[in-house]
Amino acid sequence: IISLLSLFGVFFLAGCTEKPADPVQAGALDQKFYDMIKAKDFEQASMLFSKDEDPLQWENYLKEQHALLGDLLSYEIKDTVVNTILTGNVYISRYKTKYTNGDANEVLTVREDVNFDGIKVVMYRVNPRKKNLPTLPSQTPAPAGAPAPPAQ
């Protein structure tokens, strides 16, 4: 039993990250993402997402946001929460953004994973604050392989 517990402990600890959280690296990715949005380079911005995500789906989502909100004028970070998980670090940043058609509150989540080099965007959510904007058909794209919602 002791050898089994020791073996379990070795496998458990092998999966833990020893890499400390790096909010500067996460902030640099956030800035790159928003600079691409500001430049209307939605294709390149979509490439910042995790390899598990469909870049074309995210590109379409970013274009949808642009059509609704207009050009990004400014963005300001409100706060960032860092969560350390078994496989790395997750940075959840809230932003206050200004667009030509109104303001929004946004959440940009990036993950630094020990299983691949670098840091990637894993979630992006836009919540428009202007009451007269139409409701978005989706707040975030469906996971890869999920069926599309029915048209209304």
Residues 113-136: tens digit of each pLDDT: 877 767 999 999 999 986 555 555
Residues 32-43: tens digit of each pLDDT: 999 999 999 999
**CA torsion angle for 92, 95, 99, 101 (degrees, to 10)?**
90
- The SS3 call for residue 148 is coil
Task: Collect all residues with Cβ–Cβ distance below 8 Å to 152 and sequence separation of at least 6.
Answer: 137
Structure token digits, residue 137: 């058909």
pTM of the model: 0.73
